[in-house]
Chains A and B, each alone.
Chain A
Amino acid sequence: MKDEISREERVAGLKGLGCSRKRVEDARFTQGKGNYVDDIKLPGMLHGDFVRSPYAHARIKSINIDAAMALPGVTAVLTAKDLEPLGLHWMPTLAGDKQMVLADGKVLFQGQEVAFVVASDRYVAADAVELVEVDYEELEVIVDPFKSLQSDVVLREDLVADDGSIPNGAHGPRKHPNHIFTWEAGEEEATNQVIDNAAVVAEAEMYYHRTHPCPLETCGSVASMDKVNGKLTLWGTFQAPHVVRTVASLLSGIEEHNIRVVSPDIGGGFGNKVGVYPGYICSIVASIVTGVPVKWVEDRMENLMSTAFARDYWMKGKISATKEGKITGLHCHVTADHGAFDACADPTKFPAGFMNICTGSYDIPVAYLGVDGVYTNKAPGGVSYRCSFRVTEAVYFIERMIEVLAIELNMDPAELRSINFIKKEQFPYTAALGWEYDSGDYQTAWDKALKAVDYKGLRAEQAERVEAFKRGETRKVMGIGLSFFTEIVGAGPVKNCDILGMGMFDSCEIRIHPTGSAVARLGTISQGQGHATTFAQILATEIGLSAESITIEEGDTDTAPYGLGTYGSRSTPVAGAAAAMAGRKIRAKAQMIAAYLLEVHDNDVEFDVDRFVVKGVPERFKTMKEIAYAAYNQAIPGLEPGLEAVSYYDPPNMTYPFGAYVCVMDIDVDTGVPEIRRFYALDDCGTRINPMVIEGQIHGGLTEALAVALGQEIAYDDMGNVKTATLMDFFLPTAWEVPNYETDFTVTPSPHHPIGAKGVGESPHVGGVPCFSNAVQDAFRPFGNRHTNMPHDHWRIWQTANNLGMHD
């Protein structure tokens, strides 16, 4: 039989790997047909709302709910006293600490949940919140982690023994009642020795300010306890629905098969929806108590004030080098402000996440990292905002240290990077702080980036600008921001990565239907990444059916296989790998079916795009569609009917995407207004599944990087009041503030991932923040700047210029 279409056409028809297939989700989202938590409306559903603390630290003397209960439409007002008999007034956090669900005797941050009002509608609930009378006695507030470690004020009385001694925490000994843990990596003594004897040493102290992921959709849940069949259904904004199911079962005592957790469409997560929040617990309890569904959806201010923040790292670094610029050692200490409860979302063994990737893309022989976690009167959280665990902090740290070292060496920072890159032939490379980098070709990417922007030309222009400024001809200075980042994503190998004891594998289950279409379900959950588009592409290439014929489903624990969810760029590295592996199982069975149908031995057929062909006889073949049909309607000796597969993938290693970014900025020193003239981003995420989706991810990640670098912060005053709790003050860039992005790429596949993909959703954020910040700092470098802290909003940039005497 002669084929009527060419092989190229068959490949194109699959819309598989490498195809810029349009996102299948968008038809729904752009027509208002998404289905988010707040869209869920069930018969008889009640609405919950929180009474929150106006104080950052206070004892609760009394709570009077009488007036609230008297309001028509109010069903219940829950306080810690009501939750205590169920053992639910506190809950475990992902970091091995515990957190009050409702204030138990005191409050520890502004916005903390004090009581949960349940009412017939959202309006009555809001009115009732105003009627709950709470009598507070204010306590001394601590918002500075350094002061916290010196203070007599004990924030967490529950963590001090009766005799005043300080029991160990989840991560070992604690030095002070307000101390959470010390975590170390590398060799401190050896590092100090190298640094003490080095020819050149650069030091910097930097504060990576507290910020917030601020997804467009805030957090929420709907709990529905069916008292007749004993089943609890929980819809919510969960980045890890299966983990929520397990936690809900452990906490409530409801057997896990009686709990169904559903993450419907999610309007952005960026780490904010990894944690377990009091609202989820309260909606469950309220549904159990009332016997009807209960919805809780937070508003924007509640989201910014109480659900998980990101960053808040005080980092102190020392880096040493030879006179020629070869780095010899790196020392980093972090004082980590975790707020009132340690609710960081990190794998259990990594209380500071993967901060120990802070040697970056450089071959640094010896290094040390120490992190001290500290309690303060701020909201709990510490999630990875569009990054793998604390990787943004790590990359910011090393990319600033490189710049500071370049100043110390009086060397071009681009050249300093080149001198110190881990070389292509060194991979797999084991870094001083323990990680084994899978693959990379940094120099090639760097050279490509520098050439694309005419780096030398930019430096010449900058030098001219400096002179013009000094002559008084311009009030604008020019900055060239560089960053070369290496990410560590795809957590992760079960041997060292778990969350609450659950290994961080992921999964995919595929069912091929008789007519040659398919449904695949995964343990991850898209929050806008486009999984329904890209996972279908992986499968299309693996199993030879068009991506258009493959439905992807996620988020329903009753149907999807167990998985650890989506965050830390783990979906493609882990679940994507599971999809490929499940696809290969399908293919293996399909091969046997094809051989049977073609009446040859299994080994005599081979896979070719969308079919199996008899080796050397391409006109003899069976398409995957034909094979699928045969799987269901032919009795094949020795084979079960059907064509299904499931794969649970435990990744052998993390993946290490990298990239080279350059930002050109002009800054008005009088107003402090920065103007981004150019932003070039080269990303290497290994095998590229969908270039268009990659580009979209990069645009989004860069925009969030711009936000964080140039103004986005959760700021507190000395009384622990949140100063940036609305979008008027919390910077969320719009199209107006966003520059044009130029994207580029190289491809260095991951050697251990089935299709060589590494993950890309977070790279632009991780690499973007130091790039924007370096641009600002570089503009002031010729005038004496070494380091200034982010966020570089107008007044802080102005202050930098002012401190350098540029307004005199």
Chain B
Amino acid sequence: MIPAAFEYYRPTDMAGVIALLKEHGDDARVIAGGHSLIPMMKLRMAEVPHLIDLQAIEGLNGISIAGGTVKIGAMITQHEIINSAELEKAAPIMKEAALQIADPQVRYMGTIGGNVANGDPGNDMPGLMQCLNAQFHLVGSDGDRVVDARDFYEAAYMTDREDDEVLIAVSFAAPIGGFAYEKQKRKIGDYATAAAAVQISKEGGKVGAASIAMTNLSDTPIWSEAAGAALIGTACDEASVKAAVTAMLSDIDPTEDNRGPVAFKRHAAGIVLGRAIARAWSRA
């Protein structure tokens, strides 16, 4: 497990990064925490002749919460997400989800930017970003733009990001109501067999708003609008949870792998979502 040779760059400003990306096109990639990219390079599944480290770029590692908007710099690690008291207050689902990613060693290195930009259907943050209706902030040689997380993912490892664009931050409106991130996995350090991100707000004893997203059950994260809709206006009773699960099941499209056959994954997805809804509702 030894990667092919590569050139290593450590620019100190974003212009330097963009210039390198523009110069080398397809042959260049940025590296953040490296905990998705380096394994791929070692397996020689990713060949990256030009590797551009983002560690020395300023302005990518802040968390700001202002005017009801949460903004997280791309280089914020999962460990920092877990340990930010401010963030926990504004969007506690971030901590609950981050704690279920990999293990402490990986979380010290893995960044939110890398996690959402990677495009691996196994990553947990993309699904969570669907649930939170986040925006992704990109800069590139053609300037800045903002993309909705819900429009970002095209297929496994295929995203809306251009080769010469860098993701600098994610932002979302601080969620209100109850939340839950529920994940079934085989062991510590494993990607999800099935995972669900749920935010529910309560109005007069009924579900006011609900957002539901699923992870590792299709080749992209799945925001199931219909599943959320099935809950709205209900008392989150058994029948409506069932309806939400049914709606979710028609949005996902899992494939068989070592985690199990399709029938099992669909069953597990239903159970995981049911539990996430119950927990979120209990907190709403």
Contacts and interface: CB of A to CB of B under 8 A. Distances in A.
21 contacts: A123-B2, A126-B4, A127-B4, A299-B2, A671-B271, A715-B258, A723-B258, A724-B258, A728-B191, A731-B186, A734-B187, A734-B189, A794-B259, A794-B264, A795-B261, A798-B260, A798-B264, A798-B267, A802-B263, A802-B267, A807-B267
Interface in B264-282: 264, 267-268, 271-272
A736 B190 CA distance: 12
Interface residues of A, number: 30
B187 A731 contact: yes
Given A670-B271, A671-B268, A729-B258, A794 B184 contact: yes
A301 interface: yes
The 4 A-B residue pairs with the shortest CB-CB distance in the complex, in nearest-first order: A795-B260, A126-B2, A736-B188, A795-B264
Contact of A130 (B44, B191, B272): B44
A691 B80 CA distance: 43
Interface of B: 1-2, 4-5, 44, 103, 184, 186-191, 193, 258-261, 263-264, 267-268, 271-272
A239 interface: no
A356 B271 CA distance: 45
B187 A737 contact: yes
A733 B2 CA distance: 25
Given A670-B271, A671-B271, A672-B264, A795 B188 contact: no
B2 to A, nearest CB: 4
Contacts of A671: 184, 268, 271-272
A293 B191 CA distance: 42
Interface string A773-808: 000000000000000000001110011001000010
B264 A799 contact: yes
Given A671-B272, A711-B186, A715-B258, 5 more contacts: A671-B271, A728-B190, A794-B193, A799-B261, A802-B263
A161 B184 CA distance: 54
Given A123-B2, A672-B264, A795-B260, A733 B271 contact: no
B186 A798 contact: no
Nearest to B191: A728
B1 A795 contact: no
A707 to B, nearest CB: 10
A406 interface: no
A793 B259 CA distance: 9
Given A672-B264, A729-B258, A300 B1 contact: yes
**Most B Cβ at <10 Å: residue of A299, A671, A715:** A671
A673 B261 CA distance: 16
A513 interface: no
Interface in A291-311: 299-301
B239 to A, nearest CB: 16
B184 A795 contact: no
Contacts of A711: 186-187
**Most A Cβ at <10 Å: residue of B103, B186, B190:** B186
Contacts of A301: 1
A631 B151 CA distance: 87
Contacts of A465: none
A350 to B, nearest CB: 34
Contact of A123 (B5, B260, B271): B5
A260 to B, nearest CB: 30
A728 B35 CA distance: 13
A170 B205 CA distance: 78
Contacts of A625: none
Contacts of B264: 672, 794-795, 798-799, 802
A326 interface: no
Contact of A673 (B184, B189, B260): B184
Contacts of B268: 670-672, 794, 798
Given A733-B187, A798-B267, A122 B258 contact: no
B271 to A, nearest CB: 5
Contacts of B259: 794-795
Nearest to B258: A729
A795 B272 CA distance: 14
A403 B220 CA distance: 45
B187 A736 contact: yes
A807 B271 CA distance: 11
A512 B1 CA distance: 48
**Most A Cβ at <10 Å: residue of B4, B193, B258:** B258
Given A794-B193, A795-B261, A807-B267, A734 B1 contact: no
A123 B5 CA distance: 8
Nearest to B264: A795
Nearest to A724: B258
B242 to A, nearest CB: 14
B267 A670 contact: yes
A674 to B, nearest CB: 11
Contacts of B190: 728
A723 B259 CA distance: 11
A728 B36 CA distance: 13
A187 B142 CA distance: 83
Nearest to B193: A794
Contacts of A723: 258
Contacts of B267: 670, 798, 802, 807
A733 to B, nearest CB: 7
A127 B1 CA distance: 11
